[in-house]
Structure 1
Amino acid sequence: MSTLQKRTFTVPTRSQVSANNQAIFDNLQKGIGFVPNLYAYYAKNETALDDYLTLQNRKSTLRAKEREVINLVTSQINDCRYCQSAHTALGKMNGFTDEQIVEIRKGSASFDSKLDALVKFAASAVENRGRATEESKEAFFAAGYDEANMIDVVMVIGDKITSNYLHNLTGFEIDFPLAQLL
């Protein structure tokens, strides 16, 4: 009987990726001061990093703070420590307190009724693989969101599931301050 060894996944350096991806690394370095390991890992594929950044940076009907709510909820449900940590840092940059971030990750936002409806809708959509409860959908619309917003919620969930799954499959090093375990 053979025993399988756990595969180790490594994050490529700038010199290990294509010229196109090196240019993206340079832009990330200039723009945010470093190349997050998640982005670097996407660069193992010729087109994935550019494709992912295009998706992540698309125009949206949702404010940055609302997108962070969805990112935090989705990453919590999918148990992705990398994305929990990255979006805790980004959530703080978007004005959330540590306590609010923990509350969002736990599935509510008592400090803001509209965000609370968004948290519950996003969580229901992720947990039920797109079949959000009627209650969460109606609360989402009653809070002032519309169908264009709903489409953007699904786009952000899809973006985050992609990252969650990639990190959960590989387990490469987390290069953000570790988010609190819940």
Structure 2
Amino acid sequence: MKNLNVPVREEVSANNQAIFDNLKSSLGFVPNLYAAMAHSETALERYLTFQGGKTSLSNKEKEAVNLVVSQSNNCRYCQSAHTALGKMNGFNDEEIIALRKGSASDSKLNALVKIAQDITVNKGNISQTNLENFYAQGYNHGNLIDVIVQIGDKIIMNYLHNLSQVAIDFPLADEL
């Protein structure tokens, strides 16, 4: 398979150049996976709007979902990116490994991770036990929808990297 290249600023549209400038300003660099999206005139802006949308999930909960979904989809880029982001959101190395494996010591976070993994691996055909446990931990129907949307967000990037194999520009996450 021919890998997608990572376009530089001068190789993308004016709209995507402005997005690159904003990313560089806010993150300090343009992540390769975002840059690869700039092959499309509209995908990067559309994705960033989707990714930045409001949700009932906390940043920590979103990272827990991102970690387990990226592991379930064998995406080394996203495992690496979300290991770094997970640390920025308060997880330590041991917790990140546990999340990637599908568990957490906190019972509420554990229910979230279990259902996210179940939804991802089984393509929405989840176990009733995981669903009941999710609700028993205080989550509601709106939270479930937000988990599904978060999974969709991460699947987009997991699939893009698994297809493109662009270079990982985050500290490489440990293999499990």
Superposition TM-score, scaled by structure 2 size: 0.99
1:49-128 equivalence runs, <5 A? 49-110=44-105, 112-128=106-122
- Structure 2 residues without counterparts, runs of 5 or longer: none
Question: Quick check: 2:6–2:32 contact (8 Å CA) kept in 1?
Answer: yes
User: What is the deviation of 1:9?
Assistant: 2.1
Superposition TM-score, scaled by structure 1 size: 0.95
Alignment match of 1:135 (pick from 123, 129, 132):
129
Question: Quick check: 2:34–2:44 contact (8 Å CA) kept in 1?
Answer: yes
In 2, distance between residues paired with 1:141 and 1:106?
22
Which residue matches 1:148? 142
In 1, distance between residues paired with 2:121 and 2:4?
28
Report sequence identity in percent: 61
- Structure 1 residues without counterparts, runs of 5 or longer: 1-5
Alignment match of 1:13 (pick from 8, 13, 16):
8
In 1, distance between residues paired with 2:27 and 2:2?
30
Letter in 1 for 2:20: F
- Deviating runs (4+, > 4 A) in structure 1? none
Letter in 2 for 1:181: E
Q: SS of the counterpart of 1:75?
A: helix
1:160 maps to 2:151: no
In 2, distance between residues paired with 1:8 and 1:88?
24
RMSD (Å), alpha carbons: 0.6
